[in-house]
Amino acid sequence: MPLPAALRELDSTQRHTVIASFLGWTLDAFDYFLLTFVILAVAKEFNVSKQEVTYGLFLTLAARPIGALIFGRLADRYGRRPVLMFDIVLFSVLEVACAFAPSLGILLGLRFLFGIAMGGEWGIGASLAMESIPAKSRGFVSGLLQSGYPCGFFLAALANWLLVDHIGWRGLFIVGAAPALLVLYIRRKVPESPVWEGRRTEARESVFVSMRGNWKRFIYMMLLMAAFNMFSHGSQDMYPTFVQETLKIPAGSGTAFMLTALLNLGALFGGLTFGSLSERIGRRKAIIIAALLAIPVIPLWAYGGSLLFLGLGAFLIQVMVQGAWGVVPTHLNELSPDAVRGTLPGFAYQMGNLLAAITATAQTWIAAQRGGDFAFAMSTWIAAVAVLLALLTWLGPEARGVGFGKKRDAA
């Protein structure tokens, strides 16, 4: 379906809902990625190794399943909208608290708490959007929603480029309070999910009762999302360090920003393209094509040799990585029963994150075994994960276009 047609399917209220969900994930990612740009600065201030600082990334990812379960269950019980607003305020406050951490230990603890809050946003925002739009618009909107993640990465890169030399790494975390302002927009413009409203009077079952008959599907979704998260975090989290250490480009330079900008432009293009494509060829086919097309791009991305080829590689690798990801919001929501749609997609996503949480630390260790060669660490990681992701997707189910708010059999 052409993109303009997908947008025309949405009325004003639906557009506001999609915009709010997109911005929620964008600003959540913005707060997450700020740490990836200041790993070396934090390590220097606290006089520790950069690998110790990367535990902050690990702890954030590891904590996200807790938040997905807690906030997802609250959203299934009390509604998507109020829980989403509370969650956004919470992760914004915790981001600011990181600016005042007196030691690495306290900073790591705050990043764990931030991960709990971050874990709640994606599942609630995605279910709110997907339950509020026509089924035929899901592919495009899915790509748009997931493109919020690279947009957040881009904003973090922009903030780092423009501000870090003036306000330091602590100042960047104070800027991370900005997402809280989104709550004012949601409160004014975004209604509750019509699917949840239709179930408001129904008796609320426990998560174990609601999940009866769906545990195999949950395990599959969790493993799928582990591969997805190893794919994206493996291509993104250590990229700023790769630029600084392997390419010898200063973190606050225009060249570093340009490479990160190209990476995120590719991600935005890929998410929208493959999300929309999935509406025509199916969710699984779109994911598999994107994942496998990442492999031939790897040499250009990691070993381009010149800024022109490195920039092209950064763009193309994220077209494929986030192209596959662009299908995820609609794919997971379509695989989830109504009663647990606030919980299941986000919890499966974040449990996959937990399984993949060691990615940055593992890549740092692999690079260290080869004298700090991050190009080797990232390229071998992405090649292996791309094959794994394609295989898991091929083996799994699909429910493209399934009706929400209707009875259906568990699978």
- Distance CA(152)–CA(264), nearest Å, equals 9
Q: Hey, CA dihedral for 115, 119, 120, 124, is it positive or negative?
A: positive
Structural domain includes residue 14:
yes
Tell me, yes or no, whether 208 lies in a domain.
no
Is residue 13 situated within a structural domain? Answer: yes
Q: What is the pLDDT along the chain (411 residues), one digit of tens a residue?
A: 444 466 677 888 889 898 899 888 898 888 888 998 898 899 999 999 888 998 898 898 888 889 988 998 898 888 889 999 999 999 899 999 999 999 999 999 999 999 999 888 888 888 888 888 888 888 888 888 888 888 888 888 889 888 988 999 999 999 988 888 888 889 889 998 888 787 666 555 566 665 666 788 889 999 999 999 999 888 877 777 787 777 777 766 777 778 878 888 898 899 889 988 998 899 999 999 999 999 999 998 888 878 888 889 889 999 999 899 989 888 888 888 777 777 788 788 888 878 887 888 888 888 888 888 888 989 999 999 999 999 999 998 887 867 676 554 444
CATH number of the structural domain spanning residue 178: 1.20.1250.20
Q: 244: closest CA among 38, 68, 5?
A: 38
Phi-psi domain of 305 (left: phi exceeds 0; alpha: psi -120 through 50; beta: other): left
Residue 385 covered by a domain: yes
The angle at the Cα of 257, spanning 329 to 87, to the nearest 5 degrees, equals 40
Question: Would 197 be classed as within a structural domain?
Answer: no
Q: Can you give the pTM of this predicted structure?
A: 0.78
Nearest CA among 150, 74, 112 for reference residue 347 = 74
d(CA 71, CA 202): 20
Answer yes or no: are the C-beta atoms of 327 and 287 closer than 8 Å.
Answer: yes
Domain that holds residue 327: 3-192+215-395
Q: How many domains are contained in the chain?
A: 1
The pair phi, psi for residue 80, each rounded to 5°, is -70, -45
Tokens representing 360?
Answer: 């940055």
Domain assignment of residue 199, yes or no: no
- Are 156 and 324 in contact, with CB atoms under 8 Å apart? no
Structural domain contains residue 205: no
User: SS3 of 386, please?
Assistant: helix
Task: Judge whether 172 and 164 are in contact, CB under 8 Å.
Answer: yes
Q: Is residue 401 part of a domain?
A: no
